[in-house]
Chain A
Amino acid sequence: MDHHFMWSWPIYWYLFLAGVGAGAMAVSALIYIRGPGGNYGKHYYTIAKYGALIGPLPIIIGTGFLIFELGRPYRAFNIMTSNFWYKGFNESPMNFGGWLLFVVGAVGAFYALTFFDWEKILGEKPGALLVKWSDSIRKPLAGAIAPLGIATAIYTAMLLGAMPARPLWNTPVLWMLFTVSAFSTGIAAIMLANRIFHKSDGDAEQDGQFHNSSYWLTMSDVILISTELVVIALFFMFAYVTVLDASFAIQILLPGGELAPLFWTGVIFIGLLFPLVFESFFVIRTKKNGGHFHVPYLFEIAMPLAVLVGGFILRYVIVIGGQLTGPVGL
């Protein structure tokens, strides 16, 4: 490609990582607020813990990439402060997004810290005090994290969508697409953690809880992936049925387009259809036959991994495709 990209790897890595982090955080907070009465039963705390511990790190790393990508990284705080104190937010989504990422990173980090096993880290006496504090602030923090996580997921697409000069991005369908994908990849990350860190010690009740939680996680993922397929169809139809810029821009993803092979194999087949087919197979089997939700270990790793890979390729294709296309004519 003889094209000069203004936004390259830091941006699509950031979009992916912030999506995973925001999705995992929001899911964790929602499950925690629902508490033991929900589908996850007593296992809710473990699932919420995985989400909370996964959440902030990708967001902070992704934001670090964003700062690295700047022409003048040491001026990064200008995004938030250069005109904030006397003018408030300006029209730029990046101005609002800078504050959002700052707040979400900080609140998310505190939320994650409340799940730490402080008694083990600091010893009995100081640890017990921290655990007491953690227990008391965890729920209010979860209440803040749920909307903040959703806002971060939406913001990743809002950043791209604010420019009429980039017709592939300038559509509200992209907001939906990135939000659904953020939740789907966030749940996939929790599924991976749930599988990898589960150690069976022969306790039937604990194993039952683990299987039950992975059943509900997989079920949510099936619903989200189906939604994502519908949103992608909308994304295509929106551009395809219109004239001028957007209809020209979408050609890059339609068969014959420059990025079409990557999009259709990477996003549609690996990222969506493969996990959808197998996840629905296992979920439906359990729902029909009853009993434990039993999935071969390999699939339990491969399915969420495929969702994550697909989510990354989606961000890559959109970021690169939006820069390869532009307004048509003069």
Chain B
Amino acid sequence: MTDAHDDNNDRRQFLKTAGGAAVGVAASGLALTQTQGARAKTEQGSEDTNEPKVQYGMVIDLRRCIGCQACSVACKAEADVPLGVNRSWVEYTEKGQYPNTGRSFLPRLCNQCSEPDCVRVCPTGATYKRPQDGIVVVDQGVCIGCLYCALACPYGARFLNPVTRFADKCDFCIHRVSKGLVPSCVNTCQGRARVFGDINDPNSEIHKLLAKNPVSVLREHIGTDPNVFYIGLDSTDEQTKQPGQYVRVTTHKGPQKKRG
């Protein structure tokens, strides 16, 4: 990891000193080829942003997900999430007509975005992206529970905790992660579909998975730059289905039946 960062720093230094559009284009082309996969864009642009050195992320291999909801249950127990709301849930998508039918699963959680809209709209600064590990957290001592963040989140990952009355969401089990453990949902996943780690560390399993596999993120067009990636994502949705196609989505999210 350290080597890679020194490498990066050298490259940045070189870019700064060399200047010039042609050199810049050539060097960024080099950067692109060296760091394949979804993070290439951010790596390239990171010289002028305060992109965290460690960015925790998650890859969910949907080919291995069996929709057992063990992650939802583990999350509920670990974070003591009250009834009616969820930090983590699994959506079921059923489609097709008998005998050609299929069902796919989509585990959901906070995407710990690199450009989080929730942080942008928070009036108090209670929610922020931690510089040391890139996890988006809510400061319970400052949050006023206005729910601006919950409405601004394109993934519906935030809610008002009915017990504590502040905005709540998945925090990658920050208490476990800071002690070197993996989040509870990763720990419990029956199909080993979830992989957690530092996506900036070239030796991590998640970095290799991202480099070698076709991955996608949710609602990329909103521009939030999520750090939760899916392998084998089926984008079938009730709203955007083909005419005549049968699609039914069950979100298991709580009071909100629709996606988004």
Which positions in A face B, CB cutoff 8 Å? Answer: 2-4, 6-7, 69-72, 75-76, 78-79, 82-83, 87, 90-95, 97-98, 162-166, 244, 248, 323-324, 326-330
Mask: chain B, 122-158; 1 = CB below 8 Å from A; 0 = not: 1111100000000000000011111110111110100
B contact face: mostly helix, strand, loop, or mixed = loop
Given contacts A329-B219, A330-B106, contact A71 B167 (CB under 8 A): yes
> Provided the pairs A71-B165, A326-B154, A330-B106 are in contact, do residues A92 and B142 lie with their beta carbons within 8 angstroms?
no
Beta-carbon contact of B126 and A78 below 8 Å: yes
* Stretch from B4-12, B13-21, B178-186, B235-243 at the A interface: B235-243
B154 touches A165 (CB 8 A): yes
Q: Which of A69, A75, A329 contacts B237 (CB 8 A)?
A: A329
The listed residue (B124, B151, B221) touching A323 by CB distance below 8 A is B151
* Given known A4-B255, A91-B121, A93-B121, contact A162–B218 (CB-CB < 8 A): no
Q: Given that A72-B166, A165-B153, A329-B240 are contacting pairs, would A82 and B147 also be in contact in the complex, using a CB cutoff of 8 Å?
A: no
- In order of increasing CB-CB distance, the 4 nearest A-B pairs are A71-B145, A326-B260, A94-B123, A165-B154
CB <8 Å contact, A165 and B257:
no
- Using A71-B165, A326-B259 as known contacts, say yes or no to A83 and B124 having CB atoms under 8 A apart: yes
A233 to B137, CA, bound (A): 41
Contact between A7 and B125 (Cβ–Cβ < 8 Å)? no
Q: Which residues of A contact B167 (CB under 8 A)?
A: 71
Rounded to whole angstroms, the CA-CA distance of A69 and B237 in the bound complex is: 33
Are B240 and A328 interface neighbours, CB within 8 A? yes
B256 in the interface, Cβ–Cβ < 8 Å? yes
Contact with A along B239-256 (1 / 0, CB 8 A): 110000000000000111
A152 CB to closest chain B CB, in angstroms?
16
* Min CB–CB distance A85 → chain B (angstroms): 12
- What's the Cα separation between A4 and B125 when bound, in Å? 25
B96 within 8 A of A: no
Q: Report yes or no: A165 in contact with B152, Cβ–Cβ below 8 A.
A: yes
Complex Cα distance, B120 from A90, in Å, reads: 8
Q: Is the CB of B125 within 8 A of A71?
A: no
Residues of A within 8 A of B212 (CB): none
Asked whether, in the complex, the Cβ of B117 is within 8 Å of the Cβ of A3, the reply is no
Instruction: Say yes or no: A165 contacts B256, CB within 8 Å.
Output: no
Contact between A248 and B239 (Cβ–Cβ < 8 Å)? Answer: yes
Residues of A within 8 A of B161 (CB): 71
Q: Which residue of A lies closest to B257 (CB)?
A: A2
Q: When the two chains form their complex, are residues B145 and A72 in contact, meaning their CB atoms are under 8 A apart? A: yes
- 8 Å CB contact of A72 from B143, B150, B240, B254: B143
Expressed in whole angstroms, the Cα–Cα distance for A113 and B218 within the complex equals: 54
B29 proximal to A (CB < 8 A): no
A107 to B: closest C-beta gap in Å: 21
- Closest A residue to B146 by CB, please name it: A70
A272 to B151, CA, bound (A): 30
Q: Which residue of A lies closest to B216 (CB)?
A: A330
B184 to chain A, nearest CB (A): 24
A2 to B233, CA, bound (A): 27
A78-B117 contact in complex given A72-B165, A323-B151, A329-B235, C-beta closer than 8 Å: no
Q: Is B223 an interface residue (CB 8 A)?
A: yes
Set of chain A residues within 8 Å of B74, measured between Cβ atoms:
none
Chain A residues with Cβ below 8 Å from B256 are 3-4
Q: Do residues A87 and B125 form an inter-chain contact, with CB atoms below 8 A?
A: yes
The complex places the Cα of A98 from the Cα of B148 at a distance, in Å, of 13
Q: Taking A75-B143, A92-B120, A163-B151 as given, write out 11 further A-B residue pairs in contact, using a Cβ cutoff of 8 Å, ordered by the A residue number.
A: A71-B165, A78-B126, A82-B126, A93-B121, A164-B117, A165-B117, A165-B152, A326-B259, A328-B237, A329-B239, A330-B259
Chain A residues positioned under 8 Å from B122 (CB to CB) = 90, 92
Q: Chain B: which residue is nearest A3 at the CB level?
A: B256
Q: Is the beta-carbon distance between B125 and A82 smaller than 8 angstroms?
A: yes
